[in-house]
């Protein structure tokens, strides 16, 4: 069963929530995480 575009968008946003990131992470750890967040969000189709 394939997720709908809104379901995929909600999942991507859930994976990239800033409150789910340890605030104690330093800049060296945040940069790769930010890249990963961008890659996840880039995979979401904006329109059918």
Q: What's the domain range around 25?
A: 5-46
Specify whether the CB–CB gap between 40 and 14 falls below 8 A. no
Model confidence over 1-48: pLDDT tens digits?
A: 888 888 888 888 888 888 888 889 888 888 898 999 899 888 887 766
Nearest CA to 14 out of 6, 23, 22, 2 is that of: 6
Residue partners of 12: CB distance under 8 A and separation at least 6: 40, 41, 43, 44
Total domains, the chain: 1
Model pLDDT, residue 48: 60
């Amino acid at each position: 069963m394939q997720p709908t575009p809104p379901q995929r968008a909600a999942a991507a946003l859930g994976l990239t929530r800033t409150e789910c990131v340890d605030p104690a992470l330093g800049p060296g750890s945040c940069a790769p995480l930010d890249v990963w967040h961008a890659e996840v969000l880039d995979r979401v189709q904006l329109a059918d």
